[in-house]
Amino acid sequence: MAGEITARELLDRLRSGDADHPIIVIDVRLAQIGTIPGARHVPVTDLEDKEWEWDPNAELVVYCQLGKGGSDYAAEVLEEQGYQKVYKLVGGMDSWEQLFKENPQDL
């Protein structure tokens, strides 16, 4: 079962740049409207159609707009494809945007 990660935890992980623990952020929304820097846009429908070849040791963080349906389904698909370290961004893109509204110094 996929774990969860908050927007603050994700920001801290991305800023740390820990090469021993790579992190891949995947935007599974159908339309790319704003994004987390470095995120890969792979609509959830495309995850079903292809076997992706991401580092099997990387942590995969999936997000949709609200952190519900789309990311839940994407996490399930990735786990079925054999990825062990799958996380859903709690609150999705909305939580990421809210983090910077509340903490503009983090931009």
Q: Quick: pLDDT tens for 7-61.
A: 999 999 998 877 788 899 999 988 777 788 889 999 888 888 776 788 989 999 9
Domain of 37? 3-106
Confidence tier at 69 by pLDDT (50, 70, 90)? confident
CATH number at residue 11: 3.40.250.10
Of 78, 47, 48, nearest to 61 (Cα)?
A: 78
Domain count for the chain: 1
Q: Residue 107: pLDDT above 80?
A: no
Q: What was the pLDDT predicted at 3?
A: 93
Instruction: Label each residue of 42-69 as H, E or C.
Output: CCHHHHHHCCCCCCCCCEEEEECCCCCH
Q: Which residue has the higher pLDDT, 103 or 36?
A: 36
What is this structure's pTM?
0.85
Of 84, 27, 94, nearest to 58 (Cα)?
A: 84
